[in-house]
Amino acid sequence: MQALILAGGKGTRLRPLTVYTPKPVVPICNRPFLLYQIDTLRRAGITHITLSLSYQPLKIEQQLGDGSDYGVKITYTVEPQPMGTAGAYKFAEELIREPTVVFNGDILTDLDLEAVIREHQGRKAAATVVLTPVDNPSSYGLVETESDGRIRRFLEKPKADEISVNTINAGTYVLEPHILDYVPAGEPYSFEYGLFPDLLKRGESFYAHIPQQSYWIDIGTPARYMQAHLDLLAGRVARTELPARRGEFDSATAAEIDELSMIADDCTIKPGAQIINSVLGQGCHIEEKARVENSVIWPHTRVGTGAQVFGAIIGRGCHVGRSAQVGAGAVLGDKSSLTDYTQTGGAL
């Protein structure tokens, strides 16, 4: 068994964070996101991983290298043009002519992957899709199943009146290599609109795996990117290795840092500053009496004296001026600079 991670999307819904940082390596609790997926694979004994890239591939390769730092072997495929999800699978064909786990490269989960593979093999399935329940399936792929776990219907991005169940495609598949032959070569093709409905028409043994209980989130919008952080900080994601909550940094004794917050190396936190339920990347400066709460701040950002940041995501190398207020839902791209006393919308 080996793995293919689909990581070629543009991450448009996560702009401005993805302008300089491709979505697969945006920091989640100060680690490039794909490392969480690599951990999941390695724990299930899968060490041959192909990363399927298209957008900003060099930035991803630079961060992850050949995988040896993480105990795996990473090979890269780079599509000249995005080929769609199944087109990317076909494009990697030469590398993955064996049973393969496919991940959408933007899912944070504590799924028991070994259990998925066992069930897939036990059923002798051609394809298995992991499902998860969500409140509103409209921005996902809705999946209806029979009582024995066979997939009855796959409906990508259903309209409100088409929503019949709350189970969706969780973006994890186990696929037998013969189904590569059903994917047209050299043209864009999609699992969700093309191959999966086609497997049903062909009567292939196409099954759902429904985990007993697992954490699941697609990190692809700012709100969900933020939620993933809050969930990790609160310990709601099992089987997940996080960096130490406290790196090596300078902090005044009169600063207040709560237990949940995660502070990377080389930060400076001045007297009277408060850091609550937040993540600070490497080398951030939080000036006197500034307050950062429920927020994610990327490396080398400075928050000025008396500024308040609440419920916000602030990119790399930003400057939040003195007494500025950055409210809930604000997302600042890298190198943003807010003049002293700026007020953005959103509740503080």
The residues binding ligand GDD (CB under 6 A) are 6-9, 52, 54, 79, 82-85, 88, 104-107, 140-141, 156, 168-169, 171, 192, 218, 220
- Which of Mg ion, ligand GDD, none binds 7 (CB below 5-8 Å, type-dependent)? ligand GDD
Cβ proximity to Mg ion, 18 vs 336, nearer residue: 18
Q: At what angle do helices 57-64 and 34-43 cross, to 10 degrees?
A: 50
> How far apart are CB 56 and ligand GDD at their closest, in Å?
11
**Rg of the chain taking only CA atoms, in angstroms:** 21
Instruction: Select from 52, 57, 105, 106 the one that contacts Mg ion (CB under 5 A).
Output: 106
- List the single partner that 9 binds among ligand GDD, Mg ion, none, CB under 5 to 8 Å by kind: ligand GDD
Give exposure, 164-198, as e/b (b: 16+ Cβ within 10 Å): ebebbbbbbbbbbeebbebbeeeeebbbbbbbbbb
Name the phi and psi angles at 182, rounded to 5.
-90, -5
Nearer to Mg ion, 8 or 283 (CB): 8
- Give the DSSP letter of residue 321: P
Amino acid, res. 199: L
Q: Which C-beta is closer to ligand GDD: that of 171 or that of 311?
A: 171
Any contact of residue 304 with Mg ion (CB under 5 A)?
no
Check if the beta carbon of residue 89 is closer than 8 Å to that of residue 102.
Answer: yes
Rule CB under 5 A: which of 189-248 touch Mg ion? 218, 220
Least gap, CB of 320 to Mg ion (angstroms): 29
Count helices and strands in the chain by DSSP H and E runs: 6, 29
CB of 183 to ligand GDD, least distance (A): 13
Nearer Cβ to ligand GDD, position 34 or 264? 34
